[in-house]
């Protein structure tokens, strides 16, 4: 089955989870490429500032305040996109949350909320978008999970469970659509450690400010590049940040060894700076002060990634490889000729 996706400047795109972090960067990048976009999130002020920024640059965007865990609100976003711009070509679901705590200190309400946002939210997004993608006759579902879909970290049991669930859901959905012959691509984007406000917006019960457990830490644009590529090129899965490739490889080679590695790094998720008991978090309510693209780790973040570049520029990569091969053959031929003459 061949899936032909439109160029970005001809697309109507929904970015769900657009007020901060990866979603905000992605919305800006889609708009810069000429897509008409509907941006959705819980933070009304975050969406307002985002749409103002897009509009000032000549882009077209429409905000919808919605909670990913509420199906009626998610469905309303899809309807608004169709009414406002005439349909949906790409649905990008980025919304996510986190609880940083030992499992036995995580309440049922906290665990449930993470599952509702991170897993059911992704499900609701697909449910809401599919009728409009079918109506279009083609399109793309792009779901952002995490490399923790390969291997979850300690102190993030709800988060890891939700990301594993997203992978399983997308595997089933993808095969169902393929079996039916529906030309809708289903892509899972799996970010590495990304410098977003989630490290402050997530609920932290460890008593100290959070910190990503292992480097490298990537800028959200690394993820956005993979999302925009998937919106034009059907692909089943992309890891956003080559530094995380070892997670999947190690898990396949030796789960026991991976246990030891995650044990060694997984408890290194806090700084030495105490966290105020009154510090706000975005688990149940939005925190507008974190409606930014980057988090606290801008001095440590990496702005580009060779692996993502190669994956999102296959034509250029093939030219480089072909040039290298030809150059190697020419060098070898010259070496052989000089050897014979000697």
> What is the enclosing helix (H) or strand (E) of 122?
helix 121-136
Q: Which of 4, 10, 8 is nearest to 228 (CA)?
A: 8
Query: Cα angle at 30 between 319 and 18, to 5 degrees?
Result: 130
Find out whether 226 and 274 touch, Cβ atoms under 8 Å. no
Which two three-digit tokens encode residue 80? 């608004």
159 is catalytic: yes
3 state SS of 171:
helix
Which two three-digit tokens encode residue 100? 């940083």
Q: How far is Cα 217 from Cα 152, in angstroms, rounded to an integer?
A: 17
Q: How far is Cα 33 from Cα 62, in angstroms, rounded to an integer?
A: 16
The active-site residue, picked from 159, 218, 229, 290, is 159
**Cβ atoms within 10 A of the Cβ of 3, count?**
16
The separation between CA 169 and the C-alpha centre of its own chain, rounded to angstroms, equals 16
Output the CA torsion 61→66→70→72 (10° steps).
Answer: -60
Q: How far is Cα 103 from Cα 94, in angstroms, rounded to an integer?
A: 24
Q: How far is Cα 280 from Cα 67, in angstroms, rounded to an integer?
A: 18
Q: Which of 93, 105, 300, 56 is nearest to 194 (CA)?
A: 300
Q: How far is Cα 189 from Cα 75, in angstroms, rounded to an integer?
A: 22
Q: How far is Cα 196 from Cα 220, in angstroms, rounded to an integer?
A: 7
Find out whether 174 and 186 touch, Cβ atoms under 8 Å. yes
Find out whether 97 and 201 touch, Cβ atoms under 8 Å. yes
Residues that are catalytic? 159
């Amino acid at each position: 089955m061949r899936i032909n996706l439109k160029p970005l400047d001809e697309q109507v795109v929904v970015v769900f989870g657009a007020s901060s972090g990866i979603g905000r960067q992605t919305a800006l990048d889609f708009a810069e490429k000429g897509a008409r976009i509907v941006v959705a999130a819980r933070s009304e002020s975050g969406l307002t500032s985002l749409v103002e920024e897009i509009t000032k640059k000549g882009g077209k965007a429409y905000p919808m305040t919605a909670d990913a865990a509420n199906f009626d609100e998610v469905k309303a976003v899809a309807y608004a996109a169709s009414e406002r711009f005439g349909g949906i070509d790409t649905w990008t679901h980025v919304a996510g949350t986190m609880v940083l705590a030992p499992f036995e200190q995580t309440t049922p309400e906290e665990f449930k909320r993470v599952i509702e946002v991170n897993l059911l939210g992704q499900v609701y997004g697909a449910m809401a978008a599919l009728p409009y993608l079918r109506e279009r006759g083609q399109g793309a579902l792009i779901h952002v999970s995490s490399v923790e879909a390969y291997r979850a970290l300690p102190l993030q049991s709800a988060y890891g469970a939700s990301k594993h669930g997203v992978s399983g859901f997308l595997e089933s959905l993808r095969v169902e659509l393929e079996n039916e012959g529906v030309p809708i691509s289903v892509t899972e984007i799996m970010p590495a450690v990304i410098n977003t406000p989630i490290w402050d917006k997530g609920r932290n019960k460890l008593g100290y400010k959070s910190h990503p457990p292992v480097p490298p830490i990537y800028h959200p644009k690394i993820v956005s590049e993979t999302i925009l590529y998937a919106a034009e090129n059907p692909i089943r899965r992309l890891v956003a940040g080559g530094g995380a490739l070892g997670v999947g490889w190690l898990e396949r080679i030796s789960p026991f060894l991976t246990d030891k590695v995650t044990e060694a790094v997984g408890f290194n998720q806090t700084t030495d700076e105490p966290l105020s008991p009154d510090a706000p978090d975005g688990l149940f309510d939005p925190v507008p002060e974190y409606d930014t693209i980057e988090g606290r780790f801008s001095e440590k973040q990496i702005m580009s990634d060779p692996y993502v570049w190669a994956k999102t520029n296959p034509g250029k990569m093939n030219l480089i490889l072909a040039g290298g091969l030809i150059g190697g053959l020419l060098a070898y031929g010259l070496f052989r000729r000089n050897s014979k003459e000697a």
